[in-house]
């Protein structure tokens, strides 16, 4: 199998890289966190000295999984970035969740060296990263997508091409808008039930199979009832995604009032010290707002 480069071994990248190793792909890896690198080396990966080193040692595909736009830009264009080590014919698959404009900007820079780029952000959080069942939303040329699809299928249960470069990031922003608003209204509704003296768990049981039911409700309402807010998907990461929603929307003169409001709620939670909790912690926002408890031991 071809040797794949992997840069970014955080809460999502580490299990994704492990799944590629388990599938038999040789990996060369890089991260600022030496402990994460050591974990992958113990599983059979080769450690690299820099992103440029990863690109030089990879056969064709380099995957990046990083926190935000500035990190991806640094890894690609920095002093020892991918651009310094890449070669014509390679493909950079950026699985980070970043601003679509940045994906297109980096794609243009890579194209000058004959390197293709696919933006391929994911949805599913740490649990699905570990299970290899992420949803992967891709943007780029169809032939390049087809050439890396088999690799991505080792990481995700759903791998879809949605358009040209940057379209994957737009799709991820839409995903995060819908998820954020959905979780917020679940918390809002359950807080209303509790305030009215109706058991929120019985409300959940009554409506979960109807039109109001959703994967968000199935995953997040029980967390609220049990006060289990370990991630999952962290509030601070969802804040980053919603900032990208606002930045992108403003550049297009597009209005997103619901997403903007949910962003404000999440910023308030972060200021209360919950930035590393699961985004289901929107339940805590409504508990404080309405002076109620959603947990089972009220």
Strands 61-64 and 122-123: unpaired
Q: Is 149 considered catalytic here?
A: no
Residue where the block lists tokens 């040209």: 164
Under 8 Å CB-to-CB from 17, ≥6 apart: which residues? 6, 9, 27, 29, 40, 45
Q: What does the block give as tokens for 223?
A: 């967390």
Closest CA relative to residue 280, chosen from 142, 167, 185: 185
Chain centroid to CA 143: 24
Alpha carbon of 48 to those of 51, 174, 286: distances in Å? Answer: 8, 35, 46
Rounded (5°) CA angle 280-226-193: 75
A 10 A CB-CB count for 143 gives 8
Q: Are 17 and 45 in contact (CB under 8 A)?
A: yes
Catalytic residue from among 18, 57, 172, 277? 172
Q: Are 7 and 62 in contact (CB under 8 A)?
A: yes
Q: Cα(first)–Cα(last) distance of the chain, in Å?
A: 55
Residues with a known catalytic role:
172
């Amino acid at each position: 199998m071809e040797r794949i480069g992997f840069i970014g071994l955080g809460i999502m990248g580490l299990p994704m890289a492990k799944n590629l190793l388990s599938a038999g792909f040789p990996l060369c890896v890089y991260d600022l966190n030496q402990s994460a690198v050591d974990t992958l080396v113990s599983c059979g990966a080769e450690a690299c000295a820099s992103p440029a080193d990863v690109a030089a040692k990879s056969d064709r595909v380099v995957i990046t999984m990083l926190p935000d736009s500035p990190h991806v830009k640094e890894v690609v264009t920095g002093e020892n970035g991918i651009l310094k080590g890449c070669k014509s014919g390679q493909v950079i698959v950026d699985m980070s969740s970043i601003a679509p404009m940045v994906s297109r900007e980096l794609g243009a820079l890579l194209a000058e060296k004959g390197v293709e780029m696919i933006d391929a952000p994911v949805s599913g959080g740490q649990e699905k990263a570990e299970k290899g069942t992420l949803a992967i939303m891709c943007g780029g040329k169809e032939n390049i997508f087809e050439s890396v699809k088999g690799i991505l299928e080792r990481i995700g249960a759903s791998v879809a091409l949605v358009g040209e470069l940057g379209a994957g990031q737009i799709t991820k922003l839409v995903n995060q808008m819908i998820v954020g608003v959905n979780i917020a209204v679940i918390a809002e509704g359950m807080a209303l039930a509790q305030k009215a003296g109706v058991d929120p768990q019985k409300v959940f049981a009554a409506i979960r199979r109807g039109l109001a039911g959703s994967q968000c409700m199935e995953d997040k309402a029980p967390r609220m009832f049990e006060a289990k807010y370990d991630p999952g998907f962290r509030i601070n990461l969802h804040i980053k995604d919603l900032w990208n929603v606002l930045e992108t929307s403003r550049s297009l003169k597009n209005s997103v009032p619901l997403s903007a409001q949910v962003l404000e709620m999440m910023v308030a939670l972060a200021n209360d010290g919950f930035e590393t909790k699961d985004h289901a912690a929107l339940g805590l926002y409504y508990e404080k707002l309405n002076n109620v408890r959603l947990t089972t031991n009220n």
